[in-house]
Amino acid sequence: MSKFKFTVGPWNVHTGADSYGPETRKAIDLETKFARFAELGFSAVQFHDDDAVPNMNNLTEEEIKAEARKVKAMLDKYGLAAEFVAPRLWMDPHTTDGGFTSTSEKDREFAMWRAYRSIDIARELGCDLIVLWLAREGTLCAESKSPVTATRQLVEAINNMLRYDDRIRVCIEPKPNEPIDRSFCGTVGHVMGVSAATIDPKRVGANLESAHAVLAGLDPANEIGFALAFDKLFTVHLNDQNGIRYDQDKSFGVENLRQAFNQIKVLWENRYWEKGYVGLDVKAMRTTSDEDSYEHLKNSLEIFKALEEKVARYDYDYANKLIAERKFEQLEMYTLNLIMGLK
């Protein structure tokens, strides 16, 4: 039995389209996904604002809330909670150049409108967390935005959200690049700086995604630990990534088992299960068939739980003795033997 509770987003079961080619699998409706998520053992669902309320740009504020209530009823039917809502500020013609840091004032206003509506939707779904993956808050042309102005715009946008609702928590999911070239908020360290500059730092934290840390050339477990040290790890997006290239969202642990083990180890040592959910942000391969649409989720859960079981049996007395004697060669071999199933 895992100590953790798991969450996933509807976008994690997808049609397989990528930047270079069309769909390879059939689309699956939201309710079918909820039913399967519940069956697989997930406790909650993560949402983009328009996952919950499609076509929201064309609806009034009251209509948006009414649509969100229908989704809440559907979640209840399957015993699922909602974990967070994230404004999707990268798909819309209004956000071609970003949202909160766009060079167009109208677009910045649109981004705030979507952020406020995301808060309304979160309230209707019964959750208090807003995730900001700042997809286009950066530059394609380095000279097109001032990094100083943009950083202040980002802080002000978050302040507006904190003022709009005094219970909502905001959580930045940092990523150093993609789809933009240079991001303004690329690591958990950046998030901590932004958080400290807001009007209520306790309500502003991080969502660390393993792949994004790897893309920044950093160790995901250390990024998780850095956020935990400040009590600012509001959620995680666990997955895997083969080095510094396009964002892959591979199943958790399939690329680097030791790194995956250490992410669970730091979560475990800090009793993260009392603080937040373990979110998976994983994608199926393009070659995956319709009938295997959920296999990558099953695999990620299986790998997480198998490694959690190893973390639970980690011999801290032995490890601490080796640490005191500075026998790190032996400590490394003990850990690797455990991961390899030889201990």
- The residues of the shown chain that bind ligand 3MF, judged by CB under 6 A, are 11, 48, 86, 131, 133, 173, 175, 209, 237, 247, 281
Using the minimum distance from each CB to ligand 3MF, give the nearer residue, 117 or 237: 237
108 binds, among ligand 3MF, Mg ion, none (CB under 5 to 8 A by kind): none
Q: Would you count residue 124 as binding Mg ion (CB under 5 A)? A: no
Q: Would you count residue 83 as binding Mg ion (CB under 5 A)? A: no
Query: CB of residue 310 vs ligand 3MF: minimum separation in angstroms?
Result: 27
273 binds, among ligand 3MF, Mg ion, none (CB under 5 to 8 A by kind): none
Query: CB of residue 234 vs ligand 3MF: minimum separation in angstroms?
Result: 12
Report which residue type is found at 166: D
| 3-class secondary structure, 131 | strand
Residue 105, judged by CB atoms within 10 A of its CB (0-12, 13-18, 19+), counts as: exposed
Query: CB of residue 297 vs Mg ion: minimum separation in angstroms?
Result: 14
- In the shown chain, the binding pattern of residues 234 to 273 toward Mg ion, with x for contact by CB under 5 A and - for none, equals ---x------------------------------------
How do 182-183 and 138-139 pair as beta strands?
A: antiparallel
Residue 48: active-site member: yes
Given the residues 14, 18, 29, 48, the one annotated as active site: 48
CA distances in angstroms from 195 to 110, 156, 313, listed in the order given: 23, 11, 36
42 binds, among ligand 3MF, Mg ion, none (CB under 5 to 8 A by kind): none
Please, which residues have CB within 8 angstroms of residue 184's CB and are 6 or more apart in sequence? 101, 134, 137, 138, 147, 150, 151, 154, 190
Six token digits for residue 209: 């995604």
Query: CB of residue 135 vs ligand 3MF: minimum separation in angstroms?
Result: 7
Cα separation, 99 vs 94, in Å, equals 8
* Number of Cα atoms under 13 Å in the Cβ half of residue 123: 16
Q: Which residues bind Mg ion (CB under 5 A)?
A: 209, 237, 281
Q: Catalytic site residues?
A: 48, 51
